[in-house]
């Protein structure tokens, strides 16, 4: 089905085509006509499904339909959890808006940078505001904008908004919005807090579920390489240099590990940069821009980069440290294989993390064959499942165990067996 059939203005259809969107993704097919009709929406979708354009296009359509001489009023508010996502959503909206005959003003605001330029940018008003909650409230407090005219509220990555502790700010923002409005809620997961929010916020919403795989079903080839922890950097160097990977996003467990690994790669002559929450916003934007422009070959990141980063044609993601939860695993590997491209996700697995990786596989219904690379064969072969599962899930270094995983009866039995085999571990 072409975009034109969804009820969009031909100018927006052209803009979508210019961006390389030939046909709508699953979420776009369902969401666009419903949003245009004014319905509330509950989208279970992750980054990679095309969800940004699914709400961006109808929001812009509404602006295309307005009377040209009408005064500028904030019509739509998009709340996002991170600065990176704010910048990205703003970029998508601006790219698509360029095609419209009447200029549309899209303001983007996030914390961690000076508020003054953001206040200046709001001087002539804005049609669409994309913001993180804290900075939005600061701007309202400074009287740089009012929320009383908002007709559509979009909560993007709502679960992340809660994860990052924005629940209270969100409550304050909702109180400032007009009661009569359209609400669009997108979330990758639906813990009780999000379900409660959905019930409070949405009226007869259209529910759209897009499978955790991106809508384009890109082939993400998942690989697991067995390697001792202290040989990982060397192996990474060899893979980066020998595999012809043009751009690699490497995930590690800590900010310190990101710095150290990037440093070691640089010393080996590879353009590598760390990416984590302690870097200034300017530095983070610079790293992403350099990565996109292929000036940086490898970015070594914490889970900060697991969501929200959209580097089209990112061919490889490496789990240098395994993620803490299986949900994070899905987010991390979803950084590759975007927009229909194929991608590779490589996980380094050691004797200590084997049990943890097995839990991730189990939870995601995966079976990733273990590989070895010549010259990097592990000296400590992974222990068998008996006795390791309980200890490994809790104790895998750099993993922290599966979040929220309650030990099953079997796990407890195994742990007891393991303790029995190792009386020193007994309390």
Give the binding site for ligand AMP (CB under 6 A).
19-21, 24-25, 28, 47-53, 310, 312, 338-339
Q: Which of 53, 169, 55 is nearest to 110 (CA)?
A: 169
How far is Cα 363 from Cα 351, in angstroms, rounded to an integer? 20
364: tokens are: 């995601």
- Residue closer to ligand AMP by CB (options 59, 257) is 59
What is the DSSP pairing of strand 298-301 with strand 272-275? parallel
- Residue closer to ligand AMP by CB (options 323, 334) is 334
Minimum distance from CB of 51 to ligand AMP (Å)? 5
7: tokens are: 């009820």
How far is Cα 189 from Cα 184, in angstroms, rounded to an integer? 15
Minimum distance from CB of 73 to ligand AMP (Å)? 26
Minimum distance from CB of 60 to ligand AMP (Å)? 14
Q: Residue 314: how many CA atoms within 13 Å on its side-chain side?
A: 27
- Residue closer to ligand AMP by CB (options 13, 258) is 13
Count Cβ atoms below 10 Å from residue 75 Cβ, excluding itself.
Answer: 18
288: tokens are: 């992403």
Minimum distance from CB of 212 to ligand AMP (Å)? 12
- Residue closer to ligand AMP by CB (options 13, 109) is 13
β-bridge partners, 344 = 221, 316
How far is Cα 333 from Cα 329, in angstroms, rounded to an integer? 6
Minimum distance from CB of 338 to ligand AMP (Å)? 5
Minimum distance from CB of 50 to ligand AMP (Å)? 3
Minimum distance from CB of 75 to ligand AMP (Å)? 20
Edge to edge, the sheet with strand 182-187 lists 106-109, 128-131, 76-79, 152-155, 182-187, 41-44, 206-209
How far is Cα 9 from Cα 208, in angstroms, rounded to an integer? 23
How far is Cα 146 from Cα 167, in angstroms, rounded to an integer? 20
- Residue closer to ligand AMP by CB (options 137, 314) is 314
- Residue closer to ligand AMP by CB (options 79, 225) is 79
- Residue closer to ligand AMP by CB (options 8, 351) is 8
**Residue with token string 């975009």:** 3
């Amino acid at each position: 089905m072409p975009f034109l059939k969804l009820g969009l203005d031909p100018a927006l259809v052209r803009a979508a085509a210019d961006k390389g969107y030939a046909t709508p993704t699953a979420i776009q097919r369902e969401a666009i006509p419903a949003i245009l009709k004014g319905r509330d929406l509950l989208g279970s979708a992750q980054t990679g499904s095309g969800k940004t354009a699914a709400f961006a296009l109808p929001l812009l359509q509404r602006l295309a339909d307005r009377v040209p001489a009408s005064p500028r009023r904030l019509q739509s508010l998009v709340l996002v959890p991170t600065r990176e996502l704010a910048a990205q959503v703003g970029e998508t909206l601006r790219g698509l808006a360029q095609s419209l005959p009447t200029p549309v003003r899209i303001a983007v605001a996030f914390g961690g940078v000076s508020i003054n330029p953001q206040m200046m940018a709001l001087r002539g008003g804005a049609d669409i505001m994309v913001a993180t909650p804290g900075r939005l409230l600061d701007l309202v407090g400074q009287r740089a904008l009012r929320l009383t005219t908002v007709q559509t509220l979009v909560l993007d990555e709502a679960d992340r908004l809660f994860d990052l502790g924005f629940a209270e700010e969100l409550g304050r923002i909702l109180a400032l919005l007009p009661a009569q409005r359209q609400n669009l809620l997108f979330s990758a997961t639906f813990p009780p807090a999000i379900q409660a929010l959905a019930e409070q916020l949405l009226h007869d919403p259209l529910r759209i579920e897009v499978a955790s795989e991106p809508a384009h079903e890109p082939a993400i080839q998942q690989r697991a390489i067995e390697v001792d922890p202290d040989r990982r950097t060397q192996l990474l160097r060899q893979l980066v240099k020998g595999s012809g990977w043009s751009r690699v996003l490497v995930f590690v467990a800590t900010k310190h590990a990101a710095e150290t690994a990037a440093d070691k790669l640089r010393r080996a002559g590879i353009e590598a940069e760390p990416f984590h929450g302690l870097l200034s916003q300017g530095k983070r934007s610079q790293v992403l821009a350099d990565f996109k422009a292929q000036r940086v070959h490898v970015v070594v990141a914490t889970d900060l980069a697991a969501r929200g980063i959209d580097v089209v044609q990112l061919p490889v993601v490496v789990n240098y440290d395994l993620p803490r939860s299986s949900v994070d695993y899905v987010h991390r590997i979803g950084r590759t294989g975007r927009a229909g491209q194929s991608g590779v996700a490589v996980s380094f697995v050691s004797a200590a993390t084997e049990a943890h990786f097995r839990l991730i596989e189990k939870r995601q219904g995966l079976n990733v064959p273990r590989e070895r690379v010549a010259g990097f064969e592990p000296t400590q072969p992974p222990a068998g499942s008996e006795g390791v599962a309980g200890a490994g899930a809790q104790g895998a270094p750099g993993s922290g165990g599966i979040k929220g995983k309650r030990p099953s009866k079997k796990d407890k039995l195994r742990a007891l067996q393991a303790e029995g085999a190792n009386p020193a571990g007994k309390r």
